[in-house]
Amino acid sequence: MLTAREVREVIFPRSMGNYRKDEVDDFLDRCADTIEELTNQNDENGRKMQVLAETIMDYRNQEDSIRSALISAQRMSESVISDARKQADDILEAARAEAAAMHDKALEDTAAEQEELQRVKQEVADFKAKLLSIYREHLTLIGVLEGAHPTIETAQAEEAAPAEPKPVPAAKTEQSDYHDMPDFSSFELKED
């Protein structure tokens, strides 16, 4: 491959049918200029290709970095999603356990309240029976005080069915503030 310098420095031997030296030299100068320009362009293109090759290498490195970053991001997102699902499952499980505990506690409280209600009902029934028993005893005592002796049939009938309290006539005394309480001051106890 000829260089521009070699074209400029070439010497042709002379012969009979010669070309004109100034035209040949002029042509050779133009060829040399063209070769020099092409050589310069070739060198410039080589430098540009080197820069482009380096840029491509940088892009490839960046591509690898981006690919690695994407893979890392994907793994991280999968890890975050997995952790979030596990945390959600844990929260849900804890909520279910708490709901079950609250349900069990409510059942226990309801059972305890039912037992307390039954106990109170029993106490009321016992109190009522005791009060009726005391009331019967008082009626018997009042009957004794009035001189009436209850017969056996009357006592059995009173024990079989609770009787409505018999109204006791209130004696007219100065103690009129005590309307519910009979005045026993006029009764005398008789000894047999």
* pLDDT tens digits for range 139-182: 888 888 776 555 545 555 555 555 555 555 544 444 444 445 55
Kindly state the tokens that stand for 168.
């006791």
pLDDT band at residue 61, thresholds of 50, 70 and 90?
Answer: confident
Residue 21 half-sphere exposure, CB side, CA atoms within 13 Å?
A: 6
| Length, in residues, of the chain | 192
3-state secondary structure of 163: coil
Q: 65-71 — which CB contacts under 8 Å span 24+ positions?
A: none
Q: Where are the domains positioned within the chain? A: 20-111, 114-159
Q: For residues 31 and 73, what is the distance between their CA atoms, to the nearest angstrom?
A: 60
Higher pLDDT, 170 or 24: 24
Q: What is the pLDDT of residue 158?
A: 56
Q: Model's pTM, two decimal places?
A: 0.36
